[in-house]
Structure 1
Amino acid sequence: MSLFLLILDGNSISNGELLGRLLNLTNVKKADLTSNHLGPNGAKQLAEFLSQNKSLEELVLATNRLEVDGFLAIMNAIKGNKNFKSFNFASNHLDALIRGPLVDALKTNVDLVALDLSDNPLGDDCASEILAGLVGNKSLQYLNLTQCGLNPASGEAIAKFLEVHPHVSRLKIGYNKFSAQNGVTLGHSIQSNNLVVLDLRFTNIGASGTCGVFSGLLNNHSIVELIVNGNAINKKGLGILTTVLSGNNTLQKLGMRYCEIGKSGFITLAKIISTNSSITYLDVSHNSLDSTEACKQLAAALGHAKTRKGDKISATVINELNISNCLIGPKQLDELAEGLVRNRSIKTLHLDDNELGIKGMRALSVAVKQNQVLKIITVQDTHISTSDVVVFMEKAADECFIEVLDCRKNGIDAGNSQFVQAQKRYNKYKILL
């Protein structure tokens, strides 16, 4: 019997012996054992069978509370086994004590393709030794050190690691306490790297560090996904990003939530959106879009803007836009609705945690009647009532093309007679309550 993939995540199978026998019996190549409450004892039982396993190439043991003892048992069991291509030990209460056996395993298995140690308090010394253990590896493509208790020393080490390991294509190092200088150094490193995904969310690099990262993109044409959530972006940074995206047709996913972007920042973003034809996903939630002027500029960027010289066609290809928690009220949504009417690319729109109310829902209903592309709208926790949703349904009627309206966290009364009647009459789309 032979399987390629075995998924047993979330089954609370704490019996490591049972899992080990199953892995060896099926000759599986990839096993996902996430969230099975193995613990140190279950890991030790599993280790006995892993030492005999000759087929497994990818092992996912995330969120199993292995702790140091359980992890060491696993490492000792697979020591010298060169079949493994991917390890995932995320969220297992691991600390710096794992570094010796792990580094030995990394030095032995130079064909390792993926390593995920996220959400473990490893610290700088451990991270430094792990990177040193990967020096001889020319195959690694994915490295995840998110939330590992890393500081500026690790930030510099990671940047240097990237310079000599251009084969790494996905790097996730969010939720660590780096510095502005780390952002600048990392920006230099990505110029000569083949990174496709770079996740720097909440890394404390600040506005100048973000500028450094954006500057690195000027000479990088491989990054498809960039996440800088939680790092401030100032006027200079947005200026650099404007230059980057004017000549970059590679970047497709851009995350900039909690980046302290205000009126002038959104006006600059509008200019970027109107001329860029590569970004398909844009998350600018948890910023301040309470300016009607900024909303007007953004609306113009999203669709065909009426000008004195005639229609101006936007280059945007964004199909998912997240402007949740951006201080948007009815007036701002009125302006944005104008852009949505003329937009021909957005399929999913997130408006959660804004003060929409009845006026906002009316503006939205007008937009969806004329937009034939928009399929999913989320308006969770937007202070709308049951009657507001009914008004939306009546105004949009059967002319809209949306498939899902997510109204959760608003206390909508599913048993309300008007709501029940409206649902029966306008049943083309699903309403989540």
Structure 2
Amino acid sequence: MANSAIVTLDLNGNSIRSNGAQVLSEALKTNSTMTALYLHNNSIEDDGAQTLSEALKVNSTITTLDLYGNGIGEDGAQALSDALKTNWTLTNLSMGYNLIGDNGVQALSEALRANRTLTTLDLVFNSIGDNGARFLSEALKANKTLTTLDLGLNSIGPHGAQALSEAIKINSTLTTLGLCENSIGPNGAQSLSEALKTNSTITTLELFYDSIGDIEAQALSEALKTNRTLTTMDLRSSSIGPNGAQALSDALKVNSVLTTLDLSYDSIGDNGAHALSEALKTNRTLTTLNLRNNSIGPKGAQALSEALKANLTLTALDLYGNSVGDNGAQELSDALKTNKTLTTLDLCNNSIFDNGAQALFEALKANPNLTTLDLHGNPIGDKRAQALRQVLQTTECNIEF
């Protein structure tokens, strides 16, 4: 490349196709400064992936390569696999939204056994099934460098989840595993739970939209009681219900590492909110709790209010799209008058009218810690809006309504 000072080249969405990839490949063979190349949505397909792979075999500076959404199939994956066997600089490879399938994953898995530099691999939406998961499992048992693997939006079922779980028991470097929107089901969740009891490196596990159910949430909760590394668990839209929330509550009473828990769209209701509130009274590590769209009403809000009066660590609480109403808002306001740690509270679309809004505004006068309060989508009248403007003059809280 003529400009030797370029270190990052972003050609996302430029339709360079395979011919453009060929030109880039020739340049990369001699370039010694570029470290990041972004080719998001360029339709380079297999031919383009093959030419870039030839460059990767000799290039010694590229650390990040984004090939997201390029129509790359198993032939392109095979070419990239061959390059990864000899390339010692690439650390981040994004292959999301391509067409590599199980055969392409098999090729990449062979490279992972030998490669010693790749730390992040994104294979989201690639038609990967249980066989592909098995290939990756075998690779993870041998690989010593990969820290992040995203397999979201694929077709991995319980057998694939079981295979990955066996690898997790052995692997000692992976810290983030994304399995959102697969079909792992109850049995897959059970397998992952068993793996988490012995794994000592994974900090983030994404299982949202996996329909694991309440029984399997209980299994994951058992793992949380002994696991000492997981800090983030995402169970959005996993149908855990109030029973699953109760199980997670029991785990949170003894768990001392989890900091972020996302249970949005999980139908936990007031009973689930009450169960989690009991855990919040004693838990000393959770900082972020997402309870969006969970059919939580005034009773659930009251339980959370009692928890906030005792809790010393939670900084962000998301109750968007529930039904706490004026009564629930008043309960939460009482907690805000004494709570010293919460900085962000989302109460959008909660059927809060003037009385609830007034209670919240009064609480803000006594609370110097809350920095963000979101009240969008609530029918607050003009008089209370005027009161809000007055509050804004006396508080540093960013209020949105």
Q: TM-score range by the shorter chain?
A: 0.7 to 0.9
Match of 1:360 in 2: 300
Displacement after TM superposition at 1:262 (Å)? 0.8
Map Cα deviations across residues 183-227 of structure 1 (whole Å, 9 max, x no partner).
444344323333222222222213443344344333334333332
TM norm structure 2: 0.73
Tell me if the contact between 1:226 and 1:253 (Cα under 8 Å) persists in the aligned partners: yes
Match of 1:323 in 2: 263
Pair 1:84-2:14 in alignment: no
Secondary structure, aligned partner of 1:164: coil
Secondary structure, aligned partner of 1:321: strand
C-alpha distance in 2 between matches for 1:339 and 1:279? 17
C-alpha distance in 2 between matches for 1:136 and 1:377? 50
C-alpha distance in 1 between matches for 2:113 and 2:101? 19
Match of 2:132 in 1: 209
Displacement after TM superposition at 1:247 (Å)? 4.9
C-alpha distance in 2 between matches for 1:129 and 1:320? 42
Match of 1:421 in 2: 362
Match of 1:432 in 2: 374
C-alpha distance in 2 between matches for 1:411 and 1:153? 54
C-alpha distance in 2 between matches for 1:409 and 1:94? 44
CA change 1:119–1:287 in 2 (3 A) is farther
Q: Pick which of 166-175 and 363-372 moved more.
A: 363-372
C-alpha distance in 1 between matches for 2:43 and 2:151? 22
C-alpha distance in 1 between matches for 2:71 and 2:14? 14
CA change 1:335–1:417 in 2 (3 A) is closer
Match of 1:122 in 2: 44
Tell me if the contact between 1:254 and 1:281 (Cα under 8 Å) persists in the aligned partners: no
Secondary structure, aligned partner of 2:241: coil
Secondary structure, aligned partner of 2:111: helix
Match of 1:289 in 2: 240
Tell me if the contact between 2:269 and 2:296 (Cα under 8 Å) persists in the aligned partners: yes
Tell me if the contact between 1:210 and 1:231 (Cα under 8 Å) persists in the aligned partners: no
Letter in 2 for 1:196: T
TM norm structure 1: 0.69
Letter in 2 for 1:428: N
C-alpha distance in 2 between matches for 1:104 and 1:169? 21
C-alpha distance in 1 between matches for 2:163 and 2:283? 26
CA change 1:199–1:99 in 2 (3 A) is closer
Q: Pick which of 114-123 and 405-414 moved more.
A: 405-414
Runs of 4+ in 1 over 6 A off after TM superposition: none
Secondary structure, aligned partner of 1:108: coil
Map Cα deviations across residues 56-90 of structure 1 (whole Å, 9 max, x no partner).
xxxxxxxxxxxxxxxxxxxxxxx344433321222
Aligned-residue CA RMSD (Å): 3.1
Report % sequence identity. Answer: 26
Aligned ranges 1:263-342 → 2 under 5 Å: 263=213, 264-290=215-241, 292=243, 294-304=244-254, 314=255, 317-342=257-282
C-alpha distance in 2 between matches for 1:116 and 1:240? 32
CA change 1:261–1:89 in 2 (3 A) is same
Which of 111, 121, 133 is residue 189 of structure 1 equivalent to?
Answer: 111
